[in-house]
Structure 1
Amino acid sequence: MKLFSNAIRSEPVQRLLGGGVAAMMWLFHLTVRWRRDIHPETQALLDDGKPVILCLWHGRMFFLSGGWAKPPERLGVLASGHRDGQLIARGAKSFGGYDTVSGSSRRGGVTALRGMSRLLDQGITVVITPDGPKGPRMRFKAGAVKAAQMTGAPLVALTGSARPRKVFDTWDRFCVPLPFARAVIHFGPPVYVPRDADDAVQERCRQAAEDSLNDLTNAAERTLGQEEIKAAPTDSLHRGTGHARA
């Protein structure tokens, strides 16, 4: 088991697996029938080239591949030091040549915040998974709120659903669209965090961003007749792994 674990962490294997992730992203991007619903205020920001902090749940990471008809030339992706985070980072680099920022709310939080701020200051939109790397599922952590406060870039929900799909029995209920599926993508309205926001205002912004992401996720599920995946209780932390289920 230790030998296998060491092999998985080796650079050649990580490169191979990262290439596989990129191939899957391109497969979904090209074969899934995507329908995109973008809030008008967010559409205006994107049309003007203004950077935003795109927030998608850890279990919906592959829906990033359907967010645009053509992948943007520059995009920042916050990747945790956890193995799955690094795989997604490698895949994102191969998919679109995207910039990656290492760190999470659990480890390297200050470094991640500085890296996100640097990209946003350059006008580059940054993608985060605010419930990663290990949950609780679909509960928004405070790190993105701090980045929005520091940079003035708004928080924008990005989420979706697909039919048919696979939902894995992991803590995040990882969701993968199947090739040639129908999929719905939602971009929510921008949530701005004032520069002088105190703890109470920051919490209101955090809750607004969480509600936006969950409401739009549930709306996408209902559009396609899929069962809604519930958020974890706020006081729980789910860390399971498991097998795929339909």
Structure 2
Amino acid sequence: MIFFLAGTSDARELAVKLQKTGRFVTASVVTENAASELESARIPARIGRLAADDMALLLQTGYTTVIDASHPFAEDASRNAIQAAQKAGLPYIRYERAGTQIEEHPLVTRVNTYEEATSVALDKGGVVLLTTGSKTLQIFTEKLLPREDIRLIARMLPRMDNMEKCTALGLPQKNIVAMQGPFTKEFDLALYRHYGVTTTVMKESGAIGAVAEKIEAAVSLGIETIVISRPPVNYPNQCETFDQVIHTLTRLEESKNGL
């Protein structure tokens, strides 16, 4: 029985593919929407974040493997899963979607942290569009909102808790774009033009996250682009394709069974 950390569209596809191999998969997600999408594909899902100790206890109820297909920037969830798998004595496999090859360009600045991204955005000024989600929104609002020469626009998932967080942080309603992707290059171009964006901040979430399209659209309009690199996590058994995950899982199962 596989304990499967999910929450992205490609994670759902992987869970379905694993279930089709005859393995039983239970997904762990953060939101009700993610659970609903998995359950529509007949993948049972539990909702809510788990600390490492709590996850380790859950894993001891009959699970045989942990497969982590969480978002590339959900590093806390991944570290908890690695620790929990070790405590429970179970193998851990990481599905890490392929990254995006970002070419050098004078308008593109790569940084390692949200704090660095905030500092660069402060220097640029103007209309700053965030596509980094709500989790780290406060890092940006604390520094950028007080600046009279900066208008901060945030694009995020249309969830009630996100809207409440924006209100609590003082982000005006007119500066919130509440939509769920994926987005096309044409949509990004229209969004940039509509708000008169001069700087955009995004995460390097990979091809599935349409990072290349976002950058291409921004650069074509002369927009400064700040790209936050993926957090460094030492993943055991890291795979970049579904087939690699299934091959690794089969190898670990055979090794456990002495085959």
Q: TM-score, normalised by structure 1?
A: 0.36
Larger gyration radius, structure 1 or structure 2: 2
Larger relative contact order (C-alpha < 8 A, sep ≥ 6)?
1
Q: TM-score, normalised by structure 2?
A: 0.34
